[in-house]
Amino acid sequence: MIETYFKNKKICITGGAGFIGSAIARRLARIANVKVVDSMTPQYGGNLKNLDSIKHLIDIQIGDVRKKNITEKFVKNVDYIFNMAGQTSHMDSMSDPYTDLEINAYAQLSILEAVKKFNPNVKIIFASTRQLYGKPDYLPVDEKHPVRPVDINGINKNAGEQFHLLYHNVYGIKTSVLRLTNTYGPGMRIKDARQTFVGLWIKNIIQNDTFEVWGGNQMRDFNYVEDVVDAFLAAAISKDSEGEIFNLGSSEIINLKDLANKLIEINGYGNFLEMNFPEDRKKIDIGDYYSNFSKISNSLGWSPSTNLNKGLQKTLEYYKSDGEYYFD
């Protein structure tokens, strides 16, 4: 098992109470010495419920990676940093671009400066996004595709990942970048669409409220959260990942209308309303997207193992049981 590589290692996870960060923490908590750092800013993804099952096993620190004294403290004396801290809402980035800049660009530079000064031998795996590709020229999108972000979030996430690559190339810091596609599963934010539209769909479908599907014919790929954790762990332990960018993705391609119908079928009830994109969202919409993830498959041996039906079923079951901690 890949987790055995981390036995007794010292791990820091930024954004560690969030969706993917907490999933990494749960995977490693009984094997490694895990410290999570999260600002717990209400409009972002941090939720201490995500850490309930392991809170007695890990060190939880409430702190904002935008603050220099916080970054300097948490990078010291660790073997791996899973750098998951970020602002993910595309619309928030357009209405509040300065906060997005602080979190997705400035804070990343601050982390890397602290690493250079206090722990230059650490391995950092940075969570980036497929959003920075913009509207695809071709499908599936590989890592050679032009980077043309359509929103502030994509621009700032691109800056964050370029800082990680620069610090590898110039200072020899061991960094790796994973460009995530649509990740879903237990622990994601579902009270709104700031993290993923699928989360809001799931909230509405469980509560038997009609949910909206915008651009129902658009094609997407999805990754279940535990498969994404596998990718981060694989990147952490491999020297072949250093200084590299990898797409995550899936060979299961589905349009949004079919995805909505699949959710309803698995859940047993639900209704949706197909709508056109609102004008403000239409301006930054990327159209069809799905990834070519052959690079990470060939280099690190990663491919998703959870099919969409099974992943959606697990996700629905989780929120039917624990939704009260996520609905409001």
Helix (H) / strand (E) containing 267: helix 256-267
Judge whether 48 lies within some domain.
yes
Residue 323 confidence (pLDDT): 84
Residue 162 confidence (pLDDT): 97
65 token code pair: 């990676």
Residue 23 confidence (pLDDT): 98
Report, as an integer, the average pLDDT of 199-217: 90
87 burial level (CB within 10 Å; 0-12, 13-18, 19+): buried
Judge whether 215 lies within some domain.
no
Is the confidence at residue 1, as pLDDT, over 80? no
Judge whether 107 lies within some domain.
yes
Residue labelled with tokens 């050679």: 144
Supply the CATH number for residue 6's domain.
Answer: 3.40.50.720
Query: CA gyration radius for the chain?
Result: 19
Judge whether 106 lies within some domain.
yes
Report, as an integer, the average pLDDT of 20-43: 94
220 burial level (CB within 10 Å; 0-12, 13-18, 19+): buried
What is the domain count for the chain?
1
Helices (H), 59-151: 68-75, 90-95, 97-101, 107-118
pLDDT digits (tens, 9 = 90+) for 236-274: 999 999 999 999 999 999 999 999 999 999 999 999 888
Output phi, psi for 183, to 5 deg: -95, 140
Mean residue pLDDT of the chain comes to 93
Judge whether 51 lies within some domain.
yes
Report, as an integer, the average pLDDT of 43-58: 91
5 token code pair: 């590589």
Is the confidence at residue 279, as pLDDT, over 90? no
Domain of residue 112: give its range. 2-185+222-251+290-306
Is the confidence at residue 64, as pLDDT, over 90? no
The DSSP output letter for 203 is H
Is the confidence at residue 135, as pLDDT, over 90? yes
Kindly report the pTM of this predicted structure.
Answer: 0.95
Judge whether 311 lies within some domain.
no
In contact, 104 and 128? CB cutoff 8 Å:
no
Residue 43 confidence (pLDDT): 72
Judge whether 83 lies within some domain.
yes
Residue 275 confidence (pLDDT): 75
260 token code pair: 């909505």
Task: Give bridge partners of residue 61 from the DSSP assignment.
Answer: 37
In contact, 129 and 150? CB cutoff 8 Å:
no
Strands (E), the chain: 10-14, 33-38, 59-62, 80-83, 123-129, 174-180, 182-184, 211-214, 219-224, 244-247, 253-255, 272-275
Is the confidence at residue 129, as pLDDT, over 80? yes
Residue 5 pLDDT grade (very low, low, confident, very high; cuts 50, 70, 90): very high
Judge whether 302 lies within some domain.
yes
Residue 24 pLDDT grade (very low, low, confident, very high; cuts 50, 70, 90): very high
Give me the half-sphere count of Cα atoms (radius 13 Å) on the Cβ side of residue 48.
Answer: 11
Is the confidence at residue 191, as pLDDT, over 90? no
Determine the Cα–Cα distance for residues 9 and 32; give it in Å rounded to an integer.
Answer: 5
Residue 278 confidence (pLDDT): 72
Report, as an integer, the average pLDDT of 224-231: 98
